[in-house]
Amino acid sequence: MAGNTFGNYFKITTWGESHGEALGVVVDGVPAGLALCEEAIQAFLDRRKPGQSRFSTPRRESDSVRILSGVFEGKSTGTPVSLLVPNTSQRSADYSEIASYYRPGHADYTFDAKYGFRDYRGGGRSSGRETIGRVAGGAVASLFLKELGIRILAYTKSIGPVSIDPQNFREDAILSNPVCMPDPDAAARAEQYLEECMQNRDSAGGVIECLADGVPAGLGEPVFDKLDARLAQAVMSIGAVKAVEIGDGCAAGSSRGSENNDPFCIRHGRIEKKSNHSGGILGGISDGSRILLRAHVKPTPSIFREQETVNRDKEEITVQIKGRHDPVIVPRAVVVVESMTALVLADALLSHMGSRMDHILRFYQREGND
């Protein structure tokens, strides 16, 4: 059991289920002296909040965060930061029917197999609402990293067959379209594709890309806690993610060494790389270049078609799912991928540089100007 804690030095413990009273996270290991307020954290949560577009579940939740501990006079104290987000729109009745059967593509059957007991209300702990804790914790990590000049940016790279054109990359577009694509043209086509999916009572998958700039060389722990290994765990642990790539990722498997190796060079007196096939990680340790990863997200399993399945009495049945569900998970998962990336980086930073904010800043500045 257990499994609801992530990280060793910058450590989050999340709790809460879809239809309980609230969800939350305890963030342990935040260096003392970091400026923290509810507004800054709320900005992250608002990016995953439901009901913001026609591609998002109509469930109405304000997802308002409260800081319950660990902050004194606007700064972290070094002790656990407890964040709480109340559930306000639980309509458990919607789910009473599914108590008896297992929805295809969902965790209903496996939770039952694991626990011999099932909270059938909206998937309980396997609901997408579980990610509230990740995003709230990731917000704190992001604010910490920002203090050090590390910036993480995630966006939708593709939905179904529609991909962004890197030549058309406009960062400011990400937050201004409902699919979180940095390419407005692609976004328009993706929206159209999603409309079709909805008309067909179907759902779509997609790809999320995440970049981290300003990460110093030297983060990550060989052998098993390599930076890419931890990122892989962190991102794969997000529900619906089925593949994780670092740098060239899958493409590396079909390339040649002469193509894949990144030559080192000197720029402005610093060691850099001429290309970045590695995605900023060599031998499991950050190499000072941009860190780049991709998460492949499966289509929402809740579709409003008739589906074959079985019930707890081991009878084959056909079912039609009701309730409130997004036709695509990707746009709302963008900030979740960003959060998990931030958590991994914050953890690796503390491991390398210790736990005192002043020392980290000094260390960081020195290395940064090296």
Within residues 198-237, the interface with a second copy by CB under 8 A covers 200, 202-207, 216-226, 228-237
CB-wise, 74 or 172, nearer to a second copy? Answer: 74
CB-wise, 174 or 346, nearer to a second copy? Answer: 346
254-313 residues near a second copy, rule: CB under 8 A: 254-266, 269-271, 274, 277-279, 281-288, 296-303, 305, 307-310
What does the alpha-carbon distance between residue 63 and residue 53 come to, in Å, rounded to a whole number? 16
- What Rg do the C-alpha atoms of the chain give, in angstroms? 21
What does the alpha-carbon distance between residue 340 and residue 140 come to, in Å, rounded to a whole number? 11
Nearest to 209 by CA among 187, 181, 234, 228: 181
For position 249 contacting a second copy by CB under 8 A, the verdict is yes
For position 70 contacting a second copy by CB under 8 A, the verdict is yes
Residue of the chain from 93, 171, 314, 369 that contacts a second copy (CB under 8 A): 314
Judged by CB under 8 A, the number of residues near a second copy is 161
For position 62 contacting a second copy by CB under 8 A, the verdict is no
For position 74 contacting a second copy by CB under 8 A, the verdict is no
For position 253 contacting a second copy by CB under 8 A, the verdict is yes
What does the alpha-carbon distance between residue 17 and residue 122 come to, in Å, rounded to a whole number? 8
Neighbours of 171 (CB within 10 A): 9
For position 161 contacting a second copy by CB under 8 A, the verdict is yes
Q: Residue 209 Cβ, how far from a second copy at the closest point, in Å?
A: 11
What secondary structure does DSSP assign to 213-254, as a single string? ESPPTT-SBTTTB-HHHHHHHHHHTSTTEEEEEETTGGGGGG
16-55 residues near a second copy, rule: CB under 8 A: 16-17, 20-24, 26, 28-33
Q: Residue 11 Cβ, how far from a second copy at the closest point, in Å?
A: 5
- What is the x/- site pattern for a second copy, positions 90-109, by CB under 8 A? ------------x-xxxx-x
**How distant is the alpha carbon of residue 24 from its chain centre?**
16
Q: Residue 169 Cβ, how far from a second copy at the closest point, in Å?
A: 19
For position 353 contacting a second copy by CB under 8 A, the verdict is yes
Distance (Å) of CA 66 to CA 81, 84, 85, 145, 271: 10, 5, 7, 21, 43
Sole window of 37-45, 49-57, 138-146, 353-361 interacting with a second copy (rule: CB under 8 A)? 353-361
Q: Is 286 left (phi over 0), alpha (psi -120 to 50) or beta?
A: beta
114-153 residues near a second copy, rule: CB under 8 A: 114-119, 121, 124-126, 130, 133
What is the DSSP pairing of strand 66-67 with strand 71-72?
unpaired
| Contact of 230 with 236, CB cutoff 8 Å | no
| Contact of 18 with 323, CB cutoff 8 Å | no
For position 80 contacting a second copy by CB under 8 A, the verdict is yes
